[in-house]
């Protein structure tokens, strides 16, 4: 169950390129500016219709071209599922799954669970709750099948509630109270799904992953639901403040899933390399859980893996990756910089060299 074929047209600096990756480990090698990150970005785009680098979709389209296109074939048991996605200059996305036009990007994410780690990921991840909440919800989304519907409904209610807090129509307090019933019900459901997922996550992490490096000694997880106590009372006591702010300040949209080491915040105490290693461990735990629960192989994209990591840390990354069944796409400037990783991995490896947006075959 992996991507068996990938082709790109007019994506960033890549005019046309196609390749058949290994189901295990793919190394994307090339000089600065050759197109390595673009190649990973294209796989990410194929998996969920967005870029991990930018919200400005036009940046993905090769200069002076009308649209960028990415095709892939996903092997699922005996089935080969063709997937195609394109984005044009007007921002229209066209998606085809098994030859059928589809409008559901979420369907795509179900077929191709993907995670990405870039040299900047750890700053975003440990810098504020937003990325951690996204990470948590991605896991819940794949593992708890009813979560997406609840999450979507909650966001609709939150939007309505915030609009009332912002515009303050004459009977807004009554209207807010009307929405609060659903708000509370959906919030509690989200909280239950998240807690169930975190408990599986902790079980897997401490059982299988935590022992890989002493850097993880003393690690604990911390979950903040986004409110404390009875939500109905919290909403009531916060109403005046929320009316001033113009938005709902408590609820599952403010949740956090964070990590402490011997009681200290990890971002305050760990070095950059150690934080990167922790992020690898967390993402690999998540991918393995998704695979275990859904019987789907997921994809892990790692951009510029060796950057800032000493050979000792690279060996720890290798031990983590040895525990990871995802289809891996790893970019680096040279294969030498990946030696400590590759040496330890017994995986089927394919190497792809990128030069000026083209693949060079040896
Ligand atoms: N929309 C676009 N159209 C054409 N070229 C683009 C577009 N967007 C980016 N580029 C160019 O694509 C090239 C490849 O960029 P990319 O970020 O993929 O390189 P890279 O191999 O990851 O380099 P590095 O090792 O420095 O990270 C760069 O020269 C960049 O200027
Ligand atoms: Mg790059």
User: pLDDT for 195-243, tens place per residue?
Assistant: 999 999 999 999 999 999 999 999 999 999 999 999 999 999 999 999 9
Counting atoms of ligand 1 from 1, which one is nearest the CA of 331? 22
* 108-135 residue pLDDT tens: 887 888 899 999 999 989 999 999 999 9
Mutual orientation of helices 172-204 and 272-294 as an angle, nearest 10°?
90
DSSP class of residue 61?
B
DSSP helix/strand/coil, 352: strand
pLDDT grade, residue 261 (50/70/90)? very high
Where do we find the tokens 């106590």?
Answer: 229
* d(C-alpha 358, C-alpha 242), whole Å: 53
**Do β-strands 79-88 and 256-261 pair in parallel, antiparallel, or remain unpaired?**
unpaired
Straight-line distance from the first to the last Cα atom of the chain, in angstroms, rounded to the nearest whole number: 27
Domain with CATH 1.20.1050.90 in the chain: 127-294
In the sheet with 79-88, reading across from the earlier edge strand, the strands are 14-19, 3-11, 67-76, 79-88, 93-97, 100-102
- Residue spans of beta strands (DSSP E) within 126-261: 219-224, 256-261
Report CA(303)–ligand 1 centroid distance (Å): 13
Q: Which helix (H) or strand (E) holds 117?
A: strand 114-117
Kindly report the protein residue whose alpha carbon is nearest to atom 29 of ligand 1.
33
Q: Which helix (H) or strand (E) holds 285?
A: helix 272-294
Query: CB-hemisphere CA count at 13 Å for 314?
Result: 20
Residues with CB under 5 A from ligand 2 (ion): 37
pLDDT tens string 10-49: 999 999 999 999 999 999 999 999 999 999 999 999 998 9
Closest ligand to 67 CA? 1
Architecture of domain 1-113+296-362: 3-Layer(aba) Sandwich (3.40)
Atom of ligand 1 nearest to the CA of 38: 18
C-alpha span between 159 and 235 (Å, rounded): 15
| Mean confidence (pLDDT) of the chain | 94
Q: Which residue's CA is the closest to the ligand 1 atom numbered 17?
A: 37
Q: Which residues contact 243 (CB under 8 A, 6 or more apart)?
A: 165, 168, 172
Binding residues: 30-37
What pairs with residue 5 in β-bridges? 73
- In the chain, the percentage of residues whose pLDDT exceeds 90 is 86
Q: Which residue has tokens 């891996």?
A: 328
Cα(141) to ligand 2 centroid in Å equals 29
Return the exposure string of 260-278: e unless at least 16 CB atoms fall within 10 Å of the residue's CB, then b: ebeeeebbeebeebbbbbb
CATH 3.40.50.300 positions along the chain are: 1-113+296-362
Supply the pLDDT for residue 131: 94
Distance between Cα 356 and ligand 2 center (Å): 13
Map residue 361 onto helix, strand or coil: coil
**CATH homologous superfamily of 127-294:** RecF/RecN/SMC, N-terminal domain (1.20.1050.90)
Pairwise CA distance, residues 245 & 340, whole Å: 52
Centre of ligand 1 to C-alpha 8, Å, is: 14
For the chain, the 3-state helix, strand and coil shares in percent, each to the nearest 5, are 50, 25, 25
Give the C-alpha separation, 148 to 153, whole Å.
9
Determine which residue's CA is closest to atom 13 belonging to ligand 1.
33
Q: How confident is the model at residue 77 (pLDDT cuts 50, 70, 90)?
A: confident
| pLDDT for res 268 | 93
Closest ligand 1 atom, CA of 61? 1
| Ligand 1 binding site (Cβ under 6 Å of any ligand atom) | 12-13, 30, 32-38, 59, 61-63, 333
| Model pLDDT, residue 96 | 94
Q: Whose CA is nearest to atom 25 of ligand 1?
A: 32
Going by the DSSP 8-state scheme, the letter that residue 62 receives in this structure is P
Which atom of ligand 1 is least distant from the CA of 41?
18
Return the residue whose CA atom lies nearest to atom 26 of ligand 1: 32
Residue 278 C-beta-side C-alpha neighbours within 13 Å: 27
- Report the pLDDT value the prediction gives residue 297, as an integer from 0 to 100: 81
The confidence score (pLDDT) of residue 362 equals 60
Confidence of residue 335 (pLDDT cuts 50, 70, 90): very high
Annotated binding site for ATP: 30-37
For residue 209, what pLDDT is reported? 94
**Mean pLDDT (whole number) for 149-173:** 96
């Amino acid at each position: 169950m992996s991507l068996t074929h990938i082709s790109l047209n007019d994506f960033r600096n890549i005019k046309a390129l196609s390749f058949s990756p290994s189901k295990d480990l793919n190394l994307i090698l090339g000089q600065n500016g050759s197109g390595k990150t673009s190649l990973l970005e294209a796989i990410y785009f194929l998996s969920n219709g967005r870029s991990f680098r930018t919200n400005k979709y036009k940046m993905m389209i090769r200069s002076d071209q009308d649209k960028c296109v990415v095709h892939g074939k996903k092997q699922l048991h005996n089935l080969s599922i063709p997937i195609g996605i394109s984005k044009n200059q007007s921002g229209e996305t066209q998606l085809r799954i098994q030859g059928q036009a589809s409008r559901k990007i979420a369907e795509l994410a179900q077929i191709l669970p993907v995670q990405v780690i870039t040299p900047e990921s750890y700053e975003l991840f440990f810098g504020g709750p937003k990325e951690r909440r996204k990470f948590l919800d991605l896991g819940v989304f794949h593992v708890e099948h009813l979560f997406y519907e609840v999450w979507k409904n909650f966001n609709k209610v939150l939007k309505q509630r915030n609009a009332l807090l912002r515009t303050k129509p004459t009977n807004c307090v009554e209207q807010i109270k009307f929405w609060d019933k659903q708000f509370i019900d959906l919030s509690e459901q989200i909280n239950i799904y998240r807690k169930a997922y975190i408990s599986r996550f902790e079980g897997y992490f401490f059982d299988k992953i935590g022992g890989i490096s002493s850097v993880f000694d003393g690690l604990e997880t911390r979950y903040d639901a986004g409110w404390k106590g009875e939500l109905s009372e919290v909403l009531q006591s916060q109403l005046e403040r929320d009316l001033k702010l113009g938005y709902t300040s408590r609820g599952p949209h403010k949740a956090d899933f964070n990590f402490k080491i011997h009681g200290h915040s990890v971002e305050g105490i760990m070095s950059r390399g150690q934080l990167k290693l922790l992020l690898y461990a967390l993402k690999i735990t998540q991918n393995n859980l998704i695979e275990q629960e859904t019987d789907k192989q997921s994809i892990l994209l790692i951009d510029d893996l060796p950057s800032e990591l000493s050979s000792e840390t690279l060996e720890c990354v290798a031990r983590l990756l040895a525990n990871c069944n995802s289809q891996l796409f790893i970019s680096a400037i040279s294969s030498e910089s990946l030696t400590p990783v590759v040496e330890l991995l017994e995986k089927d490896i394919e190497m792809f060299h990128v030069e000026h947006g083209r693949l060079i075959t040896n």
